[in-house]
Chains A and B, each alone.
Chain A
């Protein structure tokens, strides 16, 4: 049973690991391969700061909320282990700021110590009159992706550096199941008008005195189109741009200014921070994550695709829940093919 995972961002690698962990002993014939044209540090995931935080509103999507929770709980469980540092995993606390009162988010009981901001805390942020404080997790992909890749390599999973042009190309080579974790470029394998880029730009600075994340929200501008500051283990990420429909992966001077001025207004001490790097990427935005099975005709055969893409600006936040769900779909497939060993 040959399974090809296409895509080596946080979704592709975690889905591959989850699948292998769950099925390699049940399915001795399982041969797992990863195909991608970009590996860490050149994936979309590498540009993300790595903060676990879903969007402020879940739009009634309970399934995604559950996947977020599964991810948080899984990561929290990894915190005490020796692997945490290698994974790039650690606790971080901070602020979410609003210009008016908002309902509590779906994730208020998932994170630790969620509470509203006090009046004195709000004095720190002129222009914002309401907010939250909580402890969440950071998962830095520049550590996590190599960690996942190492675990996969140890398990005998093979990696291929190539751009897959079509599902047919992969099936023609004898692959039985494709796991489609192609993120932003899923549309190149199968048109999907619902998948749109949410262009982001970030400035990485040296500001080790910043210990808390600060995320502002502006209802009119939309999610992540408002300044945010996220402290990593080495650098602090400044951001606040989310341009729907913009495919440009080049850094924009205009956006740099918007981000820099917005973040310095939020935290005046940043004025003295040294800029280390600038990066742009495309959030694979979709009204909801596409996580489903599809049977594709391949000549006279039926081949299976499990889609797992469209995680927008919450890929890291939701990745493990989705990986488990994709693994369950895979379980259904092998059940149908009666390939799994009896319990």
Chain B
């Protein structure tokens, strides 16, 4: 067949990185990204982009670890290059603190981040409401810089990007050979995935450039993530809440909780409030599916449902999705050569 035409639906961190991975591993493909939203209006743009994985109950630990490690390694080398500031990637050290001491075993990702260790007594004195903690250095991907950088790399690789609301994957079957579904929370509507649910997160972006270390409450409720141009204060985890409107009461609550962890934030000015719906699922849907309408077949690769782990796992899942696309291409090529016989 002629150059396979691949459409990637979705332009958040998953869509763009998957499209890039496909463009790089399959240079003969033509890659087109279609999305109704681009940065700065994607779910990814609300995220702080910290590489701290969450545990995904439906995916084997060794698989999550592999995806995280591949993502970390990939971003680590960008952070250490001249492109780091344009890509919005930087290292950051900080503390994850616990009010109730968790079990002794370190998390699966402790040997992927740098310098992971328990916090010392002296360090814990800074957190009088907490009893134990972990210190480590990890990476942060600043949105929208990172998404804009991915878009730039995609264009350089010959990919096309179009604003388009895709209501049904079948709309695309005339123009494209393979569809890659990176619609995130949009997959609920797009492919009718009832197992996909939003976990609403509200964050404040504040001006506090003197905050150089991240702080995260181990229960996940409160976090302070210093980025390049602002510090992200969070957050909320509201299951099944679809509202994208910022709630002022929630903003005040987030601000107060963060000030209790880091008192110097009292003097910080709020730049903006953002809301994102984490596309949550028992596990990431990362698989091939062949849709059919009568005789017509449409190969689809799904890559969505990363919940709170989009940034942490994105490159690892992009690699798998690109491989699945390769398999779809091989299947199409063998069936088209069979058709010629």
Contacts and interface: CB of A to CB of B under 8 A. Distances in A.
A298 interface: no
A211 B212 contact: yes
B209 A234 contact: yes
Contacts of B228: 208-209
A210 interface: yes
Interface string A70-81: 000000000111
Contacts of A85: 210, 264, 267
A112 B212 CA distance: 14
Nearest to A81: B263
Interface in A113-150: 113, 115, 117-118, 120-121, 124, 133, 135, 138
A121 B229 contact: no
B117 A115 contact: yes
B75 to A, nearest CB: 13
Interface stretch (B81-89, B177-185, B190-198): B81-89
Contacts, number: 97
Interface stretch (B22-30, B90-98, B326-334): B90-98
A275 interface: no
Given A79-B264, A117-B115, A234-B209, 5 more contacts: A80-B263, A209-B84, A268-B84, A269-B80, A269-B81
A207 interface: yes
B92 to A, nearest CB: 5
14 contacts: A80-B263, A81-B263, A85-B267, A113-B120, A115-B115, A117-B115, A120-B114, A124-B91, A135-B213, A208-B229, A211-B213, A268-B80, A268-B81, A269-B84
B275 to A, nearest CB: 25
A92 interface: yes
B137 interface: yes
Interface string B63-82: 00000000000000001111
Contact of B82 (A91, A118, A207, A268): A268
Interface of A: 79-82, 84-85, 88, 90-93, 112-113, 115, 117-118, 120-121, 124, 133, 135, 138, 207-212, 231, 233-234, 268-269, 271-273
Contact of B264 (A90, A121, A231, A234): A90
B152 interface: no
Residue picked from A117, A233, A273, most chain B C-beta under 10 Å = A233
Contacts of A138: 210
Contact of A84 (B84, B213, B264): B264
B85 A273 contact: yes
B226 interface: yes
Main secondary structure of the interface of A (DSSP, over half): mixed
Contacts of B93: 93, 133, 135, 211-212
A212 B82 contact: no
B135 A113 contact: yes
Q: Which of B81, B84, B91 has the most CB of A within 10 A?
A: B84
Contacts of B226: 211
Contacts of A115: 115, 117
Contacts of A117: 115
B212 A90 contact: yes
B172 interface: no
Contacts of A268: 80-82, 84
Contacts of A88: 210
A273 B126 CA distance: 33
A120 B120 CA distance: 22
A271 B114 CA distance: 24
